């Protein structure tokens, strides 16, 4: 754990500006307020048009991501990346990649030909996660192949020599998840697998296990995208200045979740981004992310049991 604290201290003393960070918190606070009290995400993305939904999500992701970069010249003098074409490529394309992932539903027609009823409900949820991992990772792989394959392994795939600090981080998160599991907005969304209780499926325990595994697989792409791609593709271009914009982007993808989860996602994304920047690896972040996700599932089931 001392290594983790050292990385955070290095970021604070070498790359942190208090006024800039305060403006970032104001920006995210405004977006969170607009989302949870004035339905920002719904207003941006509602409609039957694919391109309307795609454009709405693109703006939802691009605005905090880009604004965090565009504020930096006011507070930092060591910025040269605005002249780098790869910076602009990643800035403009990364929100598009993730918006495409969120809106990708072309496989639904095929699913409807294979399954129907409750089976369709189950398999479409499970397989959509797997397909969307491929959808978002393929363009990321292309950028790595064109830009970074000679200088680093695929973004974040570098092995970690020691994973023990990440198990300790999970242990620290346990009481926070337990507290969250007592909240009504948390239990309205978690456990994600509770929809299975209303389905008529044989061997339902097997379905629960498969659903949770597919749900966890989705976090693999999240970590490779946010702590791998967004941090490590910009490592030599922006240095540690990529960490806060990536955390802002990460916060914005949680606007459909309970407000407390959206707020905490920024801080979690910030810490995991610092770790990825210093280790060149996403595996520790993946341990934490998957562990928290499955703890939230367990906490959700326990919370529902206690309400009965």
For 122-139, give the DSSP string: HHHHHHHHHHHHHHHHHH
For residue 9, pLDDT over 70 is answered with yes
- The pair of three-digit structure tokens given for residue 59, joined into one six-digit string: 């703006």
> DSSP class of residue 150?
T
d(CA 176, CA 21): 24
Please tell me the total count of domains within the chain.
1
Q: What is the pLDDT of residue 179?
A: 86
Is the model's pLDDT at 1 over the cut of 70? no
Judge whether residue 87 has pLDDT over 80. yes
Q: What is the pTM of this model?
A: 0.91
**What pLDDT, on the 0 to 100 scale, is given for residue 10?**
94
DSSP strands (E only) in 108-226: none
pLDDT per residue over 176-228, tens digit each?
Answer: 888 888 888 888 888 888 888 888 888 778 889 999 999 998 888 899 999 99
**pLDDT score of 2 more than 80:** no
Q: How far apart are CA 66 and CA 53, in angstroms?
A: 20
- In DSSP terms, which residues pair with 281 in a beta bridge? 157
Contact 162, 278 (CB under 8 A): no
pLDDT of residue 197: 86
Residue 32, pLDDT > 80, answer: yes
Q: How many CB atoms lie within 10 A of CB 240?
A: 18
Per DSSP, what are the bridge partners of residue 157? 281
At residue 29, the pLDDT reads 97
Q: Average pLDDT in the 100-115 region? A: 91
Q: What are phi and psi of 217, to 5 degrees?
A: -60, -30
pLDDT recorded at residue 4: 82
| Alpha-carbon span 173 to 272, nearest angstrom | 14
Residue 134 CA to residue 107 CA, distance in Å, equals: 13
List the domain range (segments joined by +) for residue 267: 2-307
Helix axis angle for 243-252 and 18-38, nearest 10°, is: 10
């Amino acid at each position: 754990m001392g290594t983790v604290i050292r990385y955070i201290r290095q970021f604070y003393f070498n790359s942190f500006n208090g006024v800039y960070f305060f403006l970032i918190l104001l920006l995210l606070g405004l977006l969170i307020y607009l989302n949870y009290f004035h339905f920002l995400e719904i207003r941006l993305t509602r409609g039957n048009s694919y391109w309307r939904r795609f454009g709405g999500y693109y703006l939802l992701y691009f605005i905090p991501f880009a604004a965090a970069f565009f504020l930096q010249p006011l507070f930092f003098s060591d910025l040269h990346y605005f002249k780098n074409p790869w910076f602009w490529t990643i800035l403009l394309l990364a929100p598009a990649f993730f918006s495409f992932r969120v809106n990708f539903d072309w496989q639904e027609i095929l699913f409807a030909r294979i399954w129907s009823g409750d089976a369709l409900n189950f398999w479409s949820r499970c397989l959509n996660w797997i397909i969307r991992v491929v959808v978002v990772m393929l363009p990321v792989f292309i950028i790595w192949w064109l830009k970074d394959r000679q200088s680093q392994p695929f973004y974040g795939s570098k092995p970690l020599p020691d994973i023990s600090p990440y198990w300790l981080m999970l242990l620290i998160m346990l009481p926070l998840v337990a507290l969250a599991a007592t909240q009504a907005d948390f239990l309205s969304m978690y456990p994600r697998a509770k929809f299975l209780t209303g389905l008529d499926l044989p061997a339902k325990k097997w379905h629960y296990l498969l659903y949770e595994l597919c749900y966890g697989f989705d976090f693999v792409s999240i970590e490779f995208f946010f702590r791998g791609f967004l941090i490590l593709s910009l490592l030599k271009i922006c240095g540690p200045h990529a960490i806060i914009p990536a955390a802002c982007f990460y916060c914005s993808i949680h606007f459909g979740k309970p407000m407390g989860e959206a707020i905490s996602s920024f801080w979690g994304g910030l810490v995991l981004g610092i770790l990825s920047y210093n280790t060149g690896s996403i595996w520790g972040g993946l341990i934490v992310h998957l562990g928290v996700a499955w703890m939230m599932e367990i906490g959700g089931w326990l919370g529902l049991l206690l309400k009965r």
